[in-house]
Amino acid sequence: MLLVLSGAPGLRAAVGCDLNEPDRDVKRLFPESTSYKTLYVSIAKRGGAALQKQIEARLGDTFKGLFETADVPYTMYEIYKGSELIGYIHGVNQKGTYGGIQVFLALDRDGVIRGFYFQKLTSRAAKLLREPAFGSQFIGLSLRDFYRYDVVSGKEVPPGPVSRIKNPDPVSNEDFRAALRATKKNLILVDEFLLGNRYLKYFETGSVRPDAGSCARGV
């Protein structure tokens, strides 16, 4: 496997989110893959406080707590089939009801979700949230779909593809909403660090699709 370190030793002291078993996990999420590169990036090194404010604006919420400081190292995986880049894997930490949760996304090279899963989840609804039926609802969505979703209110206006993601826990929605916030944050960070802000134009113009389907592709 290929490894690219961008100031990794200093960054690793902060609280990041790595795949527990990258060789196994990459092959599970991308069975066709032959290698991967591991990249370490941070808001502090890319743009500092100014960049953090921009990312918070795109998220629609301020960063909070240990997992959302500017110096957090984000571990991003570029996935290859031979010499061809075929996608990405990235995970983020997010505060849940009983502690931190880790939401990982497998994305195609256009930043469209092809896989969703929790690497870490302590929740009364953990069994339900880990069901493949829940994660499958994210497949085919991209940051363009998530821009209309307000992570503070938990509403998407007007209702669209994110609103159709169903909470499997009829009693509480805190961890469900944490998963959606983590997904939006994850997609924004991938767009910033890996996709060259391909989706930024939809945030700046408000040009989001009125009703994107679950098999949306590209931008």
Q: Say if residues 131 and 199 touch (Cβ distance below 8 Å).
A: no
* Rounded Cα gap, residues 196 and 207, in angstroms: 18
Tell me the pLDDT tens digit for each residue of 181-210.
999 999 999 999 999 999 999 998 765 544
Q: Over 50: is that where the pLDDT of 3 sits?
A: no
Q: pLDDT tens digits for 23-46?
A: 999 999 999 999 999 999 999 999
Closest CA to 112 of 170, 56, 163, 187: 187
Give pTM, 2 decimals.
0.88
Give the DSSP H/E element, type plus range, for residue 94. Answer: strand 84-96
Taking the CB of residue 204, how many other CB atoms lie within 10 A of it? 10
Tokens for 193, please give them.
């660090």
pLDDT digit string, tens, across residues 98-147: 888 999 999 999 999 999 999 999 998 999 999 999 999 999 999 999 99
